[in-house]
Amino acid sequence: MRGLLVVDVQNDFCEGGALGVDGGARVASGITEHIAAHGPDYAVLVASRDWHDADNDNGGHFAQDGESPNFVTTWPVHCVAGTMGAEYHPDLTLPDHAIHVKKGQGMPSYSMFEGHSDDGHTVAEILTNAGVTEVDVVGIATDHCVRASALDAKAAGFAVRVINDLVAAVSPDTERTARGEMTEAGVVFADN
């Protein structure tokens, strides 16, 4: 059985957001179309969001006190819990049965496998409980949270496929590196 993992399709990661990626809005609408066409093919759909604390640096994740973010381990403030930036992009429509996972609550977090549903379940538990053995990964950004989620899915024993036209990257250089890492780990890339 196959599951769909929708990674961080949030306003702050799309055009105009605090860490906007070119193509983010296109990814949001593309995922909505994909779910409309292929939703019944998935035993479960899990969608993640960065959900950072407003009152601290989230374990050093946010650049502080006027320092410039290095965009490797420190970042501008983004996806703060309860803000518009943390909400799903308006072009992303998820079905009522989607399971929502929040990650990065007070700490750096890239992989959706580090997050939990509101009732405390991990992504690995959600997938296993649904009988899933294979996952499709879509979302933002190919070279950061999609990469980390795909690698963790593979490490957890799932067959992993990233759908090429339903992801967007920060930069071509880091995307190339990330795709190489994922390929080496056994992740497959496919067109929608």
Whether 102 is catalytic: no
Asked if pLDDT for residue 181 goes beyond 90, the answer is yes
pTM comes to 0.93
Given a cut of 90, whether residue 66 has pLDDT beyond it is: no
* Res. 56: pLDDT tops 80: no
Strands in the chain per DSSP E: 2-7, 44-50, 99-103, 116-117, 134-140, 159-168, 188-190
> Which is catalytic among the residues 102, 143, 145, 154?
145
| Two structure tokens written together for 143 | 């070279």
- Joined tokens for residue 110: 């890239």
Choose among 142, 138, 146: nearest CA to 45.
138
The answer to whether 145 is a known catalytic residue is yes
Domain ranges of the chain: 2-49+91-100+117-190
The CATH code for residues 2-49+91-100+117-190 is 3.40.50.850
**The one catalytic residue among 14, 50, 102, 103:** 103
Q: Is 143 a catalytic residue?
A: no
The one catalytic residue in 8, 12, 50, 143 is 8
C-alpha of 152 from chain center? 12
Asked whether residue 123 carries a pLDDT value surpassing 80, the answer given is: yes
- Whether 76 shows a pLDDT value over 80: the answer reads no
Mean pLDDT of 123-149: 96
